[in-house]
């Protein structure tokens, strides 16, 4: 029924079908929710923010707040300066955040609103802040918007300092609250103190207490963002999300940065732990050695079910690069690797990894792709398992292929955002999910006489 996708490829240059990305502003909004007592604000029509909040709520099953300039026809002609001014006043009066993080939209970008000068012109009460970033929806993707907002916080707030603190900075990239909790645990186990920007843990996974708080416990504090300028080093995880922020902290505060892949998969996590170990000057505690060992044990135990199974992975670039790396480590055969976010660097990052495993032959890798195209690839040569967002559901159903839901967004399952995919524990979870998907399929499809309790 949901199978509208034809087998034959045809020339398609203008029509985007079933996207694997969305627009910048929602990324900026998600980043801003990771700052403590921050109200994200969308400078554009009121519909944008309604969609973004709905989208985030559907993924996290949590309230996601943000205000809007609510552009009218007049604002679109004469500029949105007055709307922004009114907004800022109203927001501080009624919702009382400590900081408002403004992002633009396709509308305000196109009419040429100059947010810098609007914000400079504002008189704010003591201790209240307004920052902004530019997020034109017709450039990049939600990932670009996320990176721009993080960089925006840094440009406005981080303070350069000659004296370096003992702390390290971490730009985690776009990951779930569950991942950030795991990140914090790893850093603590390694004996380090960190400032993580942004930090949506305890914001978009806040516990049920019987009260609703617009500003839950979590989030990077404003002081934390200021102090990022004096950390001894920043680990920027995932180039797509964290290159811009790394550039910002380097140029504004001359802080040293290390840009590495997100710690998804064994080798990427090893690299992250090594980086932490270099910073702490201490070895890796046995606790983590054991954790890694258990992961490898699991990978070996289940290896027969992974070996040479073909897999399609799609979603956001940093997540997909990490998952592709883990897939290779598990013995799976990545067949199609796709992101909707533009940028050919993605293809190079994937290819580099495929080369290491000598697994490049017959693999299609694409940035700026869409899920219609992925579906066409699969129709021409199928895979054994799909790994990605909920939007692969239609392909999974049409082609009867198991889908392992990882990445953003996941709109049709519960609990996923609490569980990490990063680190050794995260890799164990991903390995278990993939193995279970493949093995459930064997159980479902095998003849009665082949059904085995022991596998």
Residues 6 or more apart in contact with residue 373 via CB below 8 angstroms: 17, 338, 366
Residue 434 CA: distances (Å) to CA of 350, 425, 455:
20, 14, 15
Residue with tokens 């050695």: 289
CB of 238 to another protein, least distance (A): 21
Start-to-end Cα distance in the chain = 34
**428: number of Cβ within 10 Å:** 19
347 or 398: CB nearest another protein: 398
Distance CA 296, CA 299 (A): 5
CB of 108 to another protein, least distance (A): 9
49 or 332: CB nearest another protein: 49
Distance CA 270, CA 217 (A): 31
Determine the Cα angle at 318 with ends 170 and 324, to 5°: 130
9 or 307: CB nearest another protein: 9
CB of 30 to another protein, least distance (A): 14
CA 271 to chain centre: 19
For 67, the 3-state DSSP assignment is: strand
**432: number of Cβ within 10 Å:** 12
Of 12, 2, 10, 16, residue with least CA distance to 370: 16
Sheet holding 67-68, edge to edge: 67-68, 38-43, 99-104, 129-133
Of 290, 17, 22, residue with least CA distance to 145: 22
CB of 8 to another protein, least distance (A): 9
CB of 51 to another protein, least distance (A): 4
36 or 142: CB nearest another protein: 142
CB of 16 to another protein, least distance (A): 4
| CB 339 within 8 Å of CB 369 | yes
45 or 353: CB nearest another protein: 45
CB of 376 to another protein, least distance (A): 11
CB of 62 to another protein, least distance (A): 5
194 or 319: CB nearest another protein: 319
50 or 380: CB nearest another protein: 50
For 130, the 3-state DSSP assignment is: strand
55 or 336: CB nearest another protein: 55
């Amino acid at each position: 029924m949901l199978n509208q996708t034809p087998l034959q490829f045809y020339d398609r240059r203008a029509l985007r079908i079933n996207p694997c990305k969305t627009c910048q502003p929602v990324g900026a909004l998600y980043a801003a929710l990771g700052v403590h007592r921050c109200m994200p604000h969308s400078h554009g029509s009121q519909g944008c923010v309604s969609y973004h909040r709905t989208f985030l709520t559907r993924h996290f099953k949590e309230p996601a707040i943000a205000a809007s300039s609510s552009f009218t026809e007049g604002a679109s002609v004469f500029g949105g300066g007055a709307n922004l001014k009114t907004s800022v006043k109203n927001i501080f009066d009624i919702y009382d955040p400590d900081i408002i993080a403004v992002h633009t939209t396709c509308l305000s970008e196109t009419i040429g609103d100059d947010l810098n000068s609007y914000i400079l012109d504002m008189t704010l009460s003591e201790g209240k802040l307004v920052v902004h970033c530019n997020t034109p929806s017709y450039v990049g993707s939600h990932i670009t918007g996320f990176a721009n907002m993080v960089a925006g916080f840094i440009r406005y707030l981080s303070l350069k300092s000659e004296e370096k603190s003992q702390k390290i900075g971490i730009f985690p990239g776009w990951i779930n609250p569950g991942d950030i909790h795991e990140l914090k645990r790893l850093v603590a186990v390694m004996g380090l103190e960190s400032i993580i920007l942004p930090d949506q843990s305890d914001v978009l996974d806040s516990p049920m207490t019987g009260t609703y708080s617009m500003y839950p416990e979590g989030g990077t504090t404003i002081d934390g963002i200021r102090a990022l300028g004096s950390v001894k080093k920043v680990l920027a995880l995932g180039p797509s999300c964290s290159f811009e922020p790394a550039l910002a902290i380097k140029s504004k505060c001359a802080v040293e940065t290390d840009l590495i892949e997100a710690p998804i998969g064994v080798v990427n996590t090893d690299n992250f732990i090594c980086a932490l170990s270099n910073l702490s000057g201490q070895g890796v505690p046995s606790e983590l050695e054991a954790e890694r060992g258990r992961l490898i044990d699991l990978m070996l135990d289940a290896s027969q079910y992974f070996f040479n199974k073909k897999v399609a992975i799609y979603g956001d670039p940093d997540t997909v690069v990490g998952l592709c790396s883990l897939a290779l480590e598990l013995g799976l055969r990545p067949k199609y690797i796709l992101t909707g976010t533009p940028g050919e660097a993605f293809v190079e990052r994937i290819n580099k990894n495929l080369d290491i495993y000598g697994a490049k032959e017959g693999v299609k890798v694409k940035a700026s792709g869409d899920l219609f195209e992925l579906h066409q690839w699969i129709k021409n040569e199928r895979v054994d398992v799909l790994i990605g967002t909920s939007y692969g559901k239609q392909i999974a159903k049409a082609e009867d292929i198991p889908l392992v839901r990882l990445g953003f967004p996941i709109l049709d399952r519960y609990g996923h955002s609490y569980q990490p995919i990063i680190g050794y524990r995260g890799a164990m979870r991903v390995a278990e999910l993939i193995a279970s998907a493949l093995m459930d399929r064997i159980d479902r499809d095998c003849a009665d006489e082949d059904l085995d309790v022991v596998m």
